[in-house]
Amino acid sequence: MKPIQIGLLGLGTVGSGVFHVLTRNQAEIQRRAGRGIALTVAARRDLAAARAIVGDAVRLVTDPMAVARDPAIEIVVECIGGTGIARDAVMAAIDSGKHVVTANKALLALHGNEIFAAAHAKGVMVAFEAAVAGGIPIIKALREGLTANRIEWVAGIVNGTTNFILTEMREKGLPFATVLAEAQRLGYAEADPAFDIDGIDAGHKTAIMSAIAFGVPVQFDRAHVEGIRQLEAIDIRYAEKLGYRIKLLGITRRRPDGIELRVHPTLVPMKRLIASVEGAMNAVLVQGDAVGTTLYYGKGAGAEPTASAVVADLVDVTRLATADPDHRVPHLAFQPGALSDLPVLPIAEARTAFYLRLAVADEAGVLAAITGVLAQHGISIDGMLQRESAEGERQTDIVILTHVTREGAMRAAMTELQALPTVVAPIVSLRKEELA
């Protein structure tokens, strides 16, 4: 059978990884796909740099649209990134009747609903395993492997940069700014790291997982997103003393009245496997009603881990290219006409436990006042730690772990706590998840 013809948009880190994996494992890939997968044309502005990667094996052009509309190309692989030309090229490829494979989480988080609708109308596939957690096959697990389950929640470390920073802060006791500078020197963080450290990247990925887990449209615009920029080393140390580690988690949970969709630093019990995921590694926990808890772990970025997922998508699309479109796996796991309108809940309605650190005057009655305010708002205490004051010191830290409560109740309680005359600094609050 004639090899299926592939066009590649972008020959940067991921694109070059796709070329190398396809070339190196060509025979094995063909055995799995049932026919050859031939990369015949690629687009990159810098033709000299592209030629240094692919040699004479691939025809090179500078215009992504030329690849997207090339009548000889059957699958377009988008590795440009961003949401500008990448969106235009993907939509042009779909309009030309081509299947699309993409590693672009921002594109799908912001424009996925439009892209999937266009693909469905044209009877073509959009595959995106590499868009979430790099080489970890979490999309396939959610969309196919766990299809018998009613998914209850998903929680994941899906940004390696922030996980590296949090690991270094914990192991070395260094402040955030120092570790960020080291991460940039080592190449883990970009010169402008905001996309990672402010939680946006994790938010994009969590929004995609939420859509597949619960059969709803992609709704990144409704996600609550916090990063790690304000996190202090002292809170990492206190968390350790209480038996927890702090991770930047993307969490989405089904509730009777809607869906929680949030990204933020989170205390996780040390006894959970995900708490031991260190460095730049990724991990995702999924809770299903039939299977229980499953964990997916591996490299979430890098040329070849991401290329592994891209090429796996290419094999899947190649196998199904001639299948009846109505019998393919739906983009978001559920049939397009069966997507739910279950709303994303505002963060004030989220239900979680909390870590509170209060700097207080070291005098009688302080703790009673604090617990009294929490009790008035129906918030019960799960654990507590008080730093022993040095001789002559007039203030101390009180750290409180609460049981699960409504976020709105905690915010109201914190407003009252902050107004107490014995609370002498801004209260630090972090969410806590048992992930049981």
Q: Nearest to residue 249, comparing CAs of 141, 352, 107, 139?
A: 352
Residues 379 and 245 in one domain: no
pLDDT over 90 at 349, yes or no:
yes
Same domain flag for 329 and 375: no
Is the residue at 359 inside a domain? yes
CA 257 and chain centroid, separation: 24
Q: Are residues 239 and 312 in the same domain?
A: no
Q: Are 226 and 263 in contact (CB under 8 A)?
A: yes
Mean pLDDT in residue range 40-64:
95
Mean pLDDT of the chain: 95
Which CATH number covers residue 317?
3.40.50.720
Structural tokens at position 176:
């955030």
* pTM (predicted TM-score): 0.95
Could you give the 3-state DSSP secondary structure of residue 245? strand
**What single DSSP character describes residue 344?**
B
**Number of domains observed in the structure of the chain:** 3
The pLDDT > 70 percentage for the chain reads 100
Which alpha helices (DSSP H) does 1-104 contain, by range?
A: 13-24, 26-33, 47-54, 64-68, 85-95
| Percent of the chain with pLDDT strictly greater than 90 | 89
Whether residue 404 contacts residue 239, with contact meaning beta carbons closer than 8 Å, is answered with no
User: What pLDDT is recorded for position 218?
Assistant: 97
pLDDT at residue 154 in the model: 98
Assess whether pLDDT exceeds 80 at residue 391: no
Q: In this structure, are 307 and 291 located in the same domain?
A: no
Ramachandran sector of residue 207 (left: φ over 0; alpha: ψ -120 to 50; beta: rest): alpha
Q: Is residue 343 part of a domain?
A: no
Same domain, 41 and 79: yes
Same domain, 144 and 274: yes
pLDDT for 326 beyond 80: no
In this predicted structure, what is the pLDDT of residue 335?
A: 82
Select which of 98, 105, 205, 432 is catalytic.
205
- The answer to whether residue 94 is domain-embedded is yes
Query: CA–CA distance from 3 to each of 13, 30, 39, 73, 228 (Å)?
Result: 25, 9, 9, 11, 47
**How far apart are the C-alpha atoms of 401 and 399, rounded to whole Å?**
7
Owning domain of residue 108:
4-135+303-338
Count the neighbouring beta carbons within 10 Å of the beta carbon of residue 216.
23
Work out the pLDDT band at 329, boundaries 50, 70, 90: confident
Do 168 and 288 reside in the same domain of the chain? yes
111 and 248: one domain?
Answer: no
205 among known catalytic residues: yes
CATH code, domain carrying 395: 3.30.70.260
Residues 85 and 154 in one domain: no
Q: Exposed/middle/buried for 219, CB within 10 Å: 0-12, 13-18, 19+? A: middle
Within a domain: 272: yes
